[in-house]
Chain A
């Protein structure tokens, strides 16, 4: 089983010194200081690992740090500007301005939107234009608990189940949560690394994808003969 490493941005977050050792929850490695509880993080890791498993030479969701991607989203407002929109125009991986490394300040409406979505409305009138909103952390806790309950009903905790059984349980989860979890697993594995997932581009390497290519782009030969690499 592949284990999640320590948070890749530990030092970047200004938390100098050695990263503290991760916790071990049923064999799942859980970084310290996550927005999710260690148990919920382990459930998340077990679920994402089932959706996008790794294989020799092709890292999956865990190798790409997809659970950490979600945790970074849950804690987006821990930093300023919040980790919502990376800047532009280029990542710097192929030259040009490294705009991705700076997150963009949000507009007033964007901040209201993302705080409402992530934190919930908590009875605040300005966040309840169509009624109360449950925050993403609570949505995940409820959904992950649902996975564990379903697993326990058939004999063992979700985190202790083999991958094929976990995938079956995920597939049978409540549809809205299943779609959300699936989307975040995919985003965290194949999205840009600046958001905390796709660690070191491992998700792209696994599927032989070049990633972003601006500002060098592709030549006429690379367009007409992609089979050459």
Chain B
């Protein structure tokens, strides 16, 4: 006997949106989240307050943020190398998940992102495929997600984007560094436009307009940013049909003996006591590392290699995005922290520029900021004081950052570490990842182009930063692949709606289902995908 119509594990971008859609349709939903609720007044008549603040110390102490001390991960660059504990892809943990701390950048994908194989052809050594759905399948859900989360932007300003209607909000205040970098990009013939971003430029959805006080990446104290906590989950709670179970860590999934249904979700409640919840349908929306970890660790007689792993692809084709940054240092004061993170972007590097050696780059963000604790720790010890007094980064930096395609490679994967445990006593995720030659070619080609933009903007010095070095543990915070969707159960883990091929009532609503990574920030697309998945679940529930 099910306790709920739907049980959702993970209250982040996808899980939050799914909870909104299903409760609006009248279903009883339980939403389990291992982290705390940092916006404890959500669901009340007046949405006020937050436990987030402009407090770098709290963030460095992992408030509502992945904490490797209690949940370490291990990393290796190849399967024949030993894995070691490393800081791998740290994201928000808690109600709202990573949307509490993300920059909010919310561009839609282009048509080519759904047709990478057809558009650009096969790439040796990769598992590049077309998605089983296209832009038109997702377009209505993009619009719904943009309305729910609240996205500012200017329709028609990106010549490479699909035709679309107006954004829910106009662009917000401009920053000095955004103006300088946009001018630099325009001087080189590119097409900068106001960044579509899930931050209120005007009061919207019962939340105030952004006050441009920075610190977006450690949680918004005013709720001007549209985290799923203060939008989707807030509205779901107000239906009276959502049971929000924060500080509840799911420990295992149990299937019925046939293996065709998930019968129970086991978790530890806030006191540490074992508990179980049952749903007619179960949505997994942890993220592309934690969802396969849970499925692999829940193996049983019917699913000896992990639940839903008939294809052997569960955990494989892990993608992180290529994140390349040219950090320009200006002579003049720009104080880029007086702003949201990105005010502008451009798409010119996502399309064929006609050159014979074309490789696809990605979407480019303009802006960037840093606050003094993070700044200070980034400086070399022996130069610290002089650099802090001059405010080299804090007062004079502007960044040009490319979000590039990270091609799927079968050997890039998540599995269970044989020896390292988390605070709950569970095997931690072991991440095996190495950059493919294609992605290195993109980095080699586009980092200098990003630096050109910074110089054209007036930067007197440019630092070229590759966030995911070939041999290092990446920390791009975009987690994709590992439960890829497709039409063939032998070559994919879920169907085109995120439903596990092998388990009738189990669905995935995180970045794991992406067959390829695209060249854009993923959160809005994941929210649209989760909406589509929830729509399908509603049809199944009847």
Contact = CB atoms under 8 A, between A and B. Distances in A.
A182 B389 CA distance: 17
B335 interface: yes
B220 to A, nearest CB: 9
Interface string A185-229: 011011110110000000110111101111111101011111100
B63 interface: yes
Contact of A207 (B50, B70, B389): B389
Interface stretch (A3-11, A101-109, A150-158): A101-109
Interface in A108-122: 108-110, 112-113, 116-117
Interface-central residue, A130, A189, A211, A215, by most chain B CB under 10 Å: A130
Given A91-B54, A204-B372, A207-B389, A51 B70 contact: no
Contacts of B373: 186-187, 190-191
B376 A190 contact: yes
A211 B301 CA distance: 57
Interface in A64-113: 84-91, 97, 99-100, 104, 107-110, 112-113
B194 to A, nearest CB: 14
B51 A217 contact: no
Interface string B257-275: 0000000000000111000
Contacts of B60: 183, 187
Contacts of A117: 69
A32 interface: no
Interface-central residue, A107, A207, A225, by most chain B CB under 10 Å: A207
Contacts of A100: 53, 55
Interface in A1-54: 51-53
B67 A206 contact: no
A107 B38 CA distance: 12
A229 to B, nearest CB: 10
A208 B213 contact: no
B61 A213 contact: no
A104 B339 CA distance: 28
B332 interface: yes
A131 to B, nearest CB: 9
B334 interface: yes
A167 interface: yes
A213 B338 CA distance: 9
Interface-central residue, A51, A97, A226, by most chain B CB under 10 Å: A226
Does more than half of chain B's interface fall in helix, strand or loop, or is it mixed?
Answer: loop
A223 B174 contact: yes
B interface residue count range (under 10 / 10 to 19 / 20 to 34 / 35 or more): 35 or more
A203 B389 CA distance: 10
Given A90-B221, A187-B60, A217 B376 contact: no
B239 interface: no
B1 interface: no
Interface in B46-86: 49-58, 60-61, 63, 67, 69-70, 72
Given A213-B213, A217-B211, A227-B332, A89 B385 contact: no
Nearest to B173: A220
A107 B36 contact: yes
B53 A86 contact: yes
A214 B211 contact: yes
Contact of A86 (B50, B55, B249, B425): B55
A63 interface: no
B540 interface: no
B465 to A, nearest CB: 20
Contacts of B348: none
Nearest to A217: B211
B413 interface: no
Contacts of A144: none
B377 A89 contact: no
A86 B57 CA distance: 9
* For the complex of A and B, 4 pairs with smallest distance between CB atoms: A217-B211, A89-B221, A212-B54, A226-B335
13 contacts: A100-B55, A110-B36, A171-B381, A187-B56, A187-B373, A192-B54, A192-B55, A192-B56, A204-B372, A206-B388, A215-B213, A223-B173, A226-B334
Interface of B: 36, 38, 49-58, 60-61, 63, 67, 69-70, 72, 173-176, 179, 210-215, 219, 221-222, 247, 249, 270-272, 332-335, 338-339, 372-373, 376-377, 381-382, 384-385, 388-389, 391, 394-395, 420-425
Given A86-B53, A91-B55, A215-B211, 15 more contacts: A86-B58, A88-B50, A107-B270, A178-B381, A182-B381, A182-B384, A192-B55, A195-B57, A208-B391, A209-B391, A214-B54, A217-B213, A218-B212, A218-B338, A227-B333
